[in-house]
Amino acid sequence: MALQSATINVMTAAARKAARGLLRDFGEVENLQVSKKGPGNFVTAADIKAEEVLREQLERARPAYSFLLEEAGHIEGSDKTHRWIVDPLDGTTNFLHGLPHFAISIALEREGQLVAGVVYDPVKDEMFWAEKGKGAFLYDRRLRVAARHDLQNCLVATGIPYTGRPGRDVFYRELQIVTDAVAGIRRSGAAALDLAYVAAGRYDAFWERDLNPWDIAAGIVLVREAGGIVGQIGGAAITLDAPSIVASSEALFDPIAKKLAQA
């Protein structure tokens, strides 16, 4: 049985509380799907509401900590050495279309280092969590990245840059190179879950460009603590504002990161 620290308890409790509202709103989206106006504004409101709940809960438990929130931005607390990095709803497009694949992502940074991460998928009720030096878990099951060494049998996840964003051409080249080398590609629409799934060995690897700190912070902790590597295309070390991310097992990291760099 994995013993959760007080920090992880705070994070999972906050995620659960925000998830209740998201689940209610997700049910409502299905009704709005058929209305002419569509669920767009409603989803934005659900997203903001979830973020407020997360902020409230985290602040109540750790009043001095700073925040980086997707919607509200930077909030400086009196303790500048600790920062929560929060995406209240990762997978907004899925949510908007009534597709049950989205998550809440919360990471904790201490003195510039990521030390804890929680990614919670409310629909599947899957709570992924990890703490630096203590391992990665799905509830109390220890997670390990997949053991596959041969690219040709690998299942690899990615994200497609949105229309109008730079990097589409290079993405199509990357996609072709990777597609030719592996067993299958998935684009699930929630980067935090893509990373959690790499940690859980469901995906062998994941790459994407132009993500934001809140998309990847918790997932980075999960992958590292599951024995995997997170870096950039080409192989450089990951940072929260890196232009790309690659995550996989140790064995696959170099082959994939270098293949992608050929694009």
Q: Give the binding site for Ca ion (CB under 5 A).
A: 70, 87, 89-90, 215
Q: Which is nearer to ligand IPD, 4 or 54 (CB)?
A: 54
* Residue 159 found at the interface with ligand IPD (CB under 6 A): yes
* Cα dihedral value 191, 25, 46, 165, nearest 10: 40
Of residues 188 through 217, those in contact with ligand IPD by CB under 6 A are: 189-191, 208, 211, 215
CA atoms lying within 13 Å on the CB side of residue 131: 14
Residue 211 interface partner, choices ligand IPD, Ca ion, none, CB cut-off 5-8 Å depending on type: ligand IPD
What is the per-residue binding string for ligand IPD in 60-99, x denoting contact by CB under 6 A?
---------------------------x-xxxx-------
Please state the closest distance from residue 181 (CB atom) to Ca ion, in A: 27
Count the neighbouring beta carbons within 10 Å of the beta carbon of residue 97. 13
Q: Which is nearer to ligand IPD, 159 or 213 (CB)?
A: 159
- Phi, psi of 46, rounded to the nearest 5 degrees: -65, -40
Q: Is 6 exposed, middle or buried (0-12, 13-18, 19+ CB in 10 A)?
A: exposed
What is the per-residue binding string for ligand IPD in 117-136, x denoting contact by CB under 6 A?
--------------------
Q: Which is nearer to ligand IPD, 89 or 130 (CB)?
A: 89
Opening angle at CA 195, ends 254 and 81, nearest 5: 100
* Residue 25 found at the interface with ligand IPD (CB under 6 A): no
Across the beta sheet with 141-142, the strand order is 73-75, 65-69, 79-90, 103-110, 113-121, 126-131, 135-138, 141-142
Please state the closest distance from residue 256 (CB atom) to ligand IPD, in A: 18
Q: Nearest to residue 244, comparing CAs of 255, 226, 234, 232? A: 232
Residues with Cβ within 8 Å of residue 72, at least 6 apart in sequence: 51, 55
Total chain residues near ligand IPD (CB under 6 A): 12
* Interface residue list for ligand IPD (CB under 6 A): 87, 89-92, 159, 189-191, 208, 211, 215
